[in-house]
Structure 1
Amino acid sequence: MWFDSWAEILRVVVVGSASYASVVILLRFSGKRTLGQLNAFDFLVTVAFGSTLATILLSQDVAFFEGLTALVVLAALQFAVAWASAHVPATRTVVASKPAALVVSGEIQHSQLRKNRLSESEILQAIRATGAGDVADVAAVVLETNGTLSVIPKSKLGNASALHGVTGMSGS
């Protein structure tokens, strides 16, 4: 239970070191998106990387090169989906949700809050975090595809071109 053999400990050290180095190299080649703020697909790939790494480390039934192949496949699929979502708009709608307007022209959009399972207090917290004290001073609060809330004050709205494609904004 506490100790089986030095050979198993050595295997974990050797395979763990090689696996760790492999993951670092794969993440470096797969690009910044893998380590950025995660949408649902990126989160899934990150969890799969972690699960695969744990299996390589702890299961003697999985040879190092089998595990490395699994990591390479995950990285290649993540790269392919990221490339497709950047170049084929239809892919993006499958992989990531559209951003949604939760506040429009100082008005909280309660239907969007319900649809996105958010509370009014979460919106107010995001507004306060920007230093604003009045919802009426806010042009928009957007729930981004990665789950963050972007607050745009009326004083910074400009021509609203950054809101193109946001669900619930007029003209989207």
Structure 2
Amino acid sequence: MEKIWFDSWDSLLRVICIAPLAYIAMVFLLRVSGKRTLAKMNAFDFVVTVALGSILASVALNKNIPLANGVAAIIVFIGFQFILTWLAVRVKSVKTVITSRPSLIFYKGNFLQGAMKKERITEEEIYSAARKDGLSTLEEIEMIILETTGDITIIEKISDHKETTFKDVRIER
């Protein structure tokens, strides 16, 4: 209990030296790994992001974890994400496992209560999203989709379109 405020100058100096190095290594590795690593997050991306943050904090604060071990762990997690996302683009079953599909939650003036319950989203959240898009009435809206990232996309009334962007949206009524 005596070292609650200050441990030693050595430990403080270690944090001051190691934390920036670990941070620089992580930023470099994230840039090298490509834009997909920093894209809007689905559940899989969120787990990797939390793990990377935990590794960075552990390397910075734990005297028993050398910088090289921390950088190796960061490489493993970024590599794992790279491999899984590479596979997801090429193998449909992998994509199905690591990402969800967008869900239709409002269609032609009707809230799709079953889909809303499944996705745990309220009418108030839908109203809020409509207001953020500058819409004053739901009559202006053709459909509302809950995206795989948790974002809400609002599509205004549709005129005659031959092909739409809604092919992959799961519809549950």
What corresponds to 2:18 in structure 1? 15
The more displaced of 4-13 and 92-101 is: 4-13
Q: CA deviation at 1:154?
A: 0.7
Q: Which runs of 5+ in 2 are unaligned?
A: none
Instruction: Look up the SS of the partner of 1:151 in the other structure.
Output: strand
Shift, 1:158, TM fit:
3.1
Aligned length: 170
Deviation string 1:106-141 (CA, Å, 9 cap, x unpaired) is 221111100100101111111222222222321110
The ranges of structure 1 where at least 4 consecutive aligned residues each deviate by more than 4 angstroms after the TM superposition are none
The alignment's TM-score, normalised by the length of structure 1, stands at 0.92
Matched, 1:52 2:52: no
Is 1:118–2:117 an aligned residue pair? Answer: no
**For the residues of structure 2 that align with 1:162 and 1:67, how far apart are their CA atoms?**
42
Residues 1:160 and 1:135: Cα distance change in structure 2 (over 3 Å):
farther
Counterpart AA for 2:12:
I
Report the Cα distance in structure 2 between the residues aligned to 1:53 and 1:9, rounded to whole angstroms. 16
Q: Does 1:139 align with 2:142?
A: yes
Aligned with 2:30 (options 27, 30, 41) = 27
The alpha carbon displacement at 1:160 in A equals: 5.1
Alignment check: 8 A CA contact 1:99 1:143 kept: yes
* Percent of aligned pairs sharing the same letter: 36
Q: Structure 1: state its 5+ residue gaps.
A: none
Distance apart, 1:155 and its partner CA? 4.2
